Amino acid sequence: MEKKPIVELKNISKQFPGVLANDNISLSIQEGEVFAILGENGAGKSTLMNILFGLYRPDEGEIMIRGEKVELVSPRDASALGIGMVHQHFKLVQNYTIAQNIILGKEPKKRLLFMNFVDTKKAEQEIADISRQYGLEVDPRQVISDINVSIRQRVEILKMLYRKADILILDEPTALLTPQEIDHLIRTIRELKNHGKTVILITHKLREIKSVADRCAVLRRGRLVDIFDVASTDTKEMATKMVGREVDFSIDKSEMIPGEVLLSVEHMSVETHDKAMVVKDVNFEVRGGEIFAIAGVSGNGQVELVSALYGLMPMKEGKITFNGVDITHLSIRERTEQGLSYIPEDRQETGMIGDMALFENLAIKSYYHAPFSKHGLLQFDAFEKHADELIESYDIRSGSGGLTLMRSMSGGNQQKAIVAREITLGSRLLIFVQPTRGLDVAAIDHIHRQILAEREKGHAILLVSLELDEIMQLADTIAVIYGGEILHVEKAEHLTQEEVGRYMMGVQE
Amino acid sequence: MSGFKNRLARLYASSRWSQLAITATTILMTFIVVSALFILIGRDPLKAMYSFFQGSGLGLKPSYTKQGGILSDFFSFLGILAPMLLASLGVVIGLKGGLFNIGVSGQMLFSGFMATILVGYADFSPAVSILLILIVGLVCGGLIGAFIGWLKYRFNIHEVVSSIMINYIVSYATGYFIKTKYVDPIIRSSRAVKPNARLAISNVKLAGQTIEIPIGIVIALLAAFLIKFFFDRMVPGFEIKMVGHNRECAEYAGVRINRVMIRSLMFSGMLAGLAGVTYYLGYYRTMTPKDLASLGFDSIAVALLGNLNALGCIFSSFLITIFQKGAVYMGSATGVVREIASVITGILLLFSSLGDFIKAKAESYSQQMTFERESREEAER
């Protein structure tokens, strides 16, 4: 049966400051299919879908819906055309009930005494009908803050269905779900397809694509690389297409000279605020001169693991020994003084103070001792001298040197500054969390060289990254984390990218 | 026209002149709106404006009482300026740490009350009294401030909520004690403190006028410079700023943010305490039961107008006190109700809160200009 295209994107380009997020992308999606968009972080998947949803306007290109050219100025336009989107971060009113959230902006009304009132009964009835039809059971009277992530996602899907959307965009819908919840979601997607809906699934998880999608487009660094039929392609091929081979920066990496064990983590468990176990009984050791990389799909506990290691999050159980000292109960400052450096994932919120100058930011971990302060007084000469040295030797570019407001610098230079600060602490263990996220190629290269230089000095490196490329390039030892557990630890040279990818999906031999 | 606009944008965006230009604009716009207001109710705006200055001892009145004069008016102005400045400095310290101490009035009332009953009715020599009053002010204000900080740290109670509640607790509790134990039945306020226990030197003759020299103003100016130094040069000040700008990053950098937040509110309370003793034992000498000083709330406006800068507060407290203090004379001279002073303060605050907006607009405008110029040059090449 010949199906007609429902969404056509023609030559879409979108430029952000410093990044070409979408580079001349054309694709056409058939009515009633499940169409996956695959790509690494920063490949431009979300940007493309935000354009289709009217949140961004493309710099170039046009959009056709059901064969007609459309101008999408706001999500309202997209909604009117039957396009619905579930964002990665849900957009729900916390203290409203499920029913109130679903009808918000499109409330059924009843008139009473010449005034409009929300017809709650009718709303709940309609919602119950839709839930039954698609197998999405919810209790419309529950308040959002009382329900868990997977039900919230269900509410988001119901919200689209209530608005009679028939093109449904799901942005990384499984990022926060457990395996069982993922299975349920996949059944829901099939159900939606059976009802004739078109589903666009943004993801970087191959297993989901394999189990539910009809066709798949691959984006890499803003460009459309390939479109293929899912049924006739195996996951291995997909991974190759996603990661790509052409961006293989070869960096001179010498043979590892293993030093003594610097860090040992025993039986570490971490719980979040709402008592979810995100790290479960993890054990590992890192040696001097070793880059120990933790690979894993986002949200598998890797960030919580290193946060607890650095003291940003409380540990439920376990013991951390660093350099022969038990640091389990030390404060962050004491850990820093013991020789721990930490380059956080969220550089703008955690790693720096945007409203302070560069020279201050370079000293936020050392301002309280000599030479930065004497007798409780800050020594700005020392601050500036320190800043000038770092700017020089780490090639940090800023408008007016050390006096530049940190916020006004580019992301790459902010990260260079943070890395420079952490390295000059002289720590023996450096924890890098997603050190190159969102950076351009040159800045990535710079950071990678710094990491290798630290390794040469005999320091231990703990690297957490979602980029498999990065891990394969740098790591001496790779630990794969899945569902809060370390599934596999092995020397990097004994592993291929595909094997690591498979462990990341939770596949055991 | 575009050249003028361009130059204006550059002035507002320049790092050196921006603050001055924006403050000047704020005041100018306030004067325009207030003048329009006076014209609307049929008064001469210039005369009305000038009467505020006359009432504050900054302009000659047409006539004076026998012992009064411009000097006595001016020193009286300084007497109320002192607590205003101290209170606004208290607000500044809190806000620098990202904490909103809205309970300045309560802290003033508590420390003023404690100083009144502990020192005000005792027979110490003036020097000892002054010292003791200041210590009581610092301790009592600091205790409440630290308590608010501790509540935030221990029970996660927002400082705005707890400090407002403490305002009422203090107001009713002191009100009860004043009425039952320390009341002067004729004036229905607390008994006046003894002359040797006041933060002012009374009955000084100068140029034929009887003036009262407030000690508080010296303390307030000293405090302003001290706080400036504290935030510019001292380690604990730097920590408070870090926490205020980005709590998450401060924690990551190893700052014990809870301790810093408690400390910041304690210092804030100490300044409010000093404001309290200079207000109740300096400018006044009695306390009305259950009366939270509106000065404590005005000080928030002063702190914001002073751009959270200790020295900026000297300027802004001066400005706002002119309207507050001069309002009485303005009222009798022009027949306009004196509540107009609060309206003016409000308008001033409204315009000053536009400062960041003006700056951001100017920045993006001059950035765009630079960008256009560069691309033009690029094209020419």
Angle at A251 between CA A245 and CA A253, to 5 degrees: 125
Quickly state the pLDDT bin for A1 (edges 50, 70, 90): very low
> Comparing A504-508, B319-323, B326-330, which segment has the lowest mean pLDDT?
A504-508
pTM for the full predicted model? 0.75
Give the per-residue pLDDT at A247.
42
Q: Report ipTM (2 d.p.).
A: 0.84
Mean of all residue pLDDT scores within chain A? 87
Give the per-residue pLDDT at A342.
97
Nearest Cα to Cα of residue A36 among A174, A181, A208: A208
Quickly state the pLDDT bin for A418 (edges 50, 70, 90): very high
Give B228-253 pLDDT, tens digit per residue.
Answer: 999 999 999 999 999 999 999 999 99
Quickly state the pLDDT bin for A249 (edges 50, 70, 90): very low
User: Which one has a higher pLDDT value, A240 or A308?
Assistant: A308
Give the separation between CA B281 and CA B276, rounded to whole angstroms: 8
Structural element, H or E, at residue A448: helix A441-456
Quickly state the pLDDT bin for B268 (edges 50, 70, 90): very high
Does position B143 have pLDDT exceeding 90, yes or no? yes
Give the separation between CA B328 and CA B92, rounded to whole angstroms: 28
Give A37-54 pLDDT, tens digit per residue.
Answer: 987 666 788 889 889 998
Quickly state the pLDDT bin for A2 (edges 50, 70, 90): low
Exposure on the CB side of residue A494, measured as CA atoms within 13 A: 7
The pair phi, psi for residue B47, each rounded to 5°, is -65, -40
User: Which one has a higher pLDDT value, B313 or A47?
Assistant: B313
**Residue B252 in contact with partner chain A when CB distance is under 8 A:** yes
Amino acid identity of B278?
T
* Candidates B15, B241, B249, B263, partner chain A, best to mutate (most A CBs within 10 A): B249
Nearest-CB residue to A350 (from B233, B236, B249): B249
Give B29-45 pLDDT, tens digit per residue.
Answer: 999 999 999 999 888 99
Q: Taking CB atoms and an 8 Å limit, are A350 and B250 in contact across chains?
A: no
- Which whole number is the average pLDDT over A67-77? 87
The pair phi, psi for residue A145, each rounded to 5°, is -65, -15
Nearest Cα to Cα of residue A479 among A279, A236, A275, A209: A279
**Which residues contact residue A433 at a Cβ distance below 8 angstroms, ignoring those fewer than 6 apart?**
A303, A306, A342, A343, A344, A345, A464
Q: Taking CB atoms and an 8 Å limit, are A353 and B256 in contact across chains?
A: no
Exposure on the CB side of residue A100, measured as CA atoms within 13 A: 12
User: Which one has a higher pLDDT value, B374 or B95?
Assistant: B95
The pair phi, psi for residue A163, each rounded to 5°, is -85, 10
Compute the nearest-CA separation of A497 from chain B (Å). 33
**Torsion-angle region of A480 (φ positive above 0: left; ψ -120 to 50: alpha; else: beta):** beta
Mean of all residue pLDDT scores within chain B? 91
Report the chain B residue with the minimal C-alpha distance to residue A342.
B252
- Which whole number is the average pLDDT over A98-102? 88
Quickly state the pLDDT bin for B381 (edges 50, 70, 90): low
User: Which one has a higher pLDDT value, B131 or A179?
Assistant: B131
* Candidates A307, A332, A336, partner chain B, best to mutate (most B CBs within 10 A): A332
- Which whole number is the average pLDDT over B286-305? 92
Give the separation between CA A33 and CA A4, rounded to whole angstroms: 11
CB atoms within 10 A of CB B227: 22
Residues from chain A that touch B253, judged by Cβ atoms under 8 A, are 332, 364-365
User: Tokens for B116?
Assistant: 């009144």
Quickly state the pLDDT bin for A509 (edges 50, 70, 90): low
Exposed, middle or buried, A150 (CB in 10 Å: 0-12/13-18/19+)? Answer: middle
- Which whole number is the average pLDDT over A78-105? 87
CB atoms within 10 A of CB B57: 24
Q: Taking CB atoms and an 8 Å limit, are A354 and B254 in contact across chains?
A: no
Give the per-residue pLDDT at A440.
63
User: Which one has a higher pLDDT value, A193 or B356?
Assistant: A193
- Residue B51 contacts residue B330 (beta carbons within 8 Å): yes
Does position A112 have pLDDT exceeding 80, yes or no? no
Residues from chain A that touch B246, judged by Cβ atoms under 8 A, are 349, 352-355
Name beta bridge partners: A292: A462, A477
Q: Taking CB atoms and an 8 Å limit, are B252 and A342 in contact across chains?
A: yes
Give the per-residue pLDDT at A178.
61
Residues from chain B that touch A368, judged by Cβ atoms under 8 A, are 235, 239
Per-residue DSSP letter, A316: S
- Which spans in chain B are helix H? 2-13, 18-40, 45-55, 70-96, 104-115, 126-155, 159-181, 216-233, 235-245, 247-252, 257-278, 295-305, 310-334, 340-352, 355-380
Residue with token string 């709650």? A120
**Which residues contact residue A310 at a Cβ distance below 8 angstroms, ignoring those fewer than 6 apart?**
A332, A335, A340, A342, A431
- Which whole number is the average pLDDT over A251-257? 77
> Comparing A21-35, A67-81, A168-182, B264-278, which segment has the lowest mean pLDDT?
A168-182
Nearest-CB residue to A353 (from B236, B249, B254): B249
> How many residues appear in chain B?
381
Give the per-residue pLDDT at B378.
67
Does position A179 have pLDDT exceeding 70, yes or no? no
Does position B328 have pLDDT exceeding 70, yes or no? yes
CB pairs under 8 A between A and B: 57
Residue with token string 């209530």? A162
Give the separation between CA A335 and CA A313, rounded to whole angstroms: 13
Orientation angle between helical segments B159-181 and B126-155, nearest 10 degrees:
140
User: Tokens for B167?
Assistant: 């305002």
Does position A244 have pLDDT exceeding 70, yes or no? no
Give the per-residue pLDDT at A236.
74
Give the separation between CA B80 and CA A224, rounded to whole angstroms: 70
Residue with token string 């601050």? A383
Give the separation between CA A30 and CA A47, rounded to whole angstroms: 21
Give the separation between CA A487 and CA A509, rounded to whole angstroms: 11
Residues from chain B that touch A312, judged by Cβ atoms under 8 A, are 251-252
Does position A304 have pLDDT exceeding 90, yes or no? yes
CB atoms within 10 A of CB B77: 23
User: Which one has a higher pLDDT value, B324 or A501?
Assistant: B324
Does position A461 have pLDDT exceeding 90, yes or no? yes
Give the separation between CA A25 and CA A52, rounded to whole angstroms: 12
- Residue A362 contacts residue A387 (beta carbons within 8 Å): yes
Give the separation between CA A224 and CA A37, rounded to whole angstroms: 10
Nearest-CB residue to A351 (from B234, B241, B249): B249
Exposure on the CB side of residue A336, measured as CA atoms within 13 A: 20
Give the separation between CA B139 and CA B269, rounded to whole angstroms: 9
What share of residues in chain A are helix, strand, coil (percent, to 5)?
A: 35, 30, 35
Orientation angle between helical segments B70-96 and B216-233, nearest 10 degrees:
30
Does position B1 have pLDDT exceeding 60, yes or no? no
Q: For residue A332, what are the CA distances in angstroms to A191, A264, A266, A340?
A: 49, 17, 19, 9
Give the per-residue pLDDT at A41.
60
Pairing of strands B183-184, B189-190: antiparallel
Amino acid identity of B206?
L
Q: Taking CB atoms and an 8 Å limit, are A364 and B253 in contact across chains?
A: yes
Does position A246 have pLDDT exceeding 90, yes or no? no
Give A191-240 pLDDT, tens digit per residue.
Answer: 999 988 999 998 877 778 888 999 999 888 788 888 989 888 887 777 77
End-to-end CA gap in chain A: 40
Amino acid identity of A371?
P
Give the per-residue pLDDT at A143.
87
- Separation of CA B353 from chain center: 16
The pair phi, psi for residue A228, each rounded to 5°, is -140, 160
Quickly state the pLDDT bin for A243 (edges 50, 70, 90): low
Give the separation between CA A3 and CA A29, rounded to whole angstroms: 10
Give A360-398 pLDDT, tens digit per residue.
Answer: 999 999 999 989 999 999 999 999 999 999 999 998 888
> Comparing A266-275, A309-318, B5-14, which segment has the lowest mean pLDDT?
B5-14
Nearest Cα to Cα of residue B80 among B325, B305, B269, B299: B325
Report the chain B residue with the minimal C-alpha distance to residue A308.
B252
Name beta bridge partners: A294: A464, A479
Q: For residue A75, is the peptide bond before it cis, meaning its omega torsion is within 30 degrees of 0?
A: no
Sequence-ordered strand ranges (E) for A277-339:
277-287, 291-295, 317-322, 325-326
Give B158-183 pLDDT, tens digit per residue.
Answer: 999 999 999 999 999 999 999 999 99
Helix (H, G, I), strand (E, B) or coil at A493: helix
- Which spans in A81-166 are helix H? 98-103, 120-134, 149-162
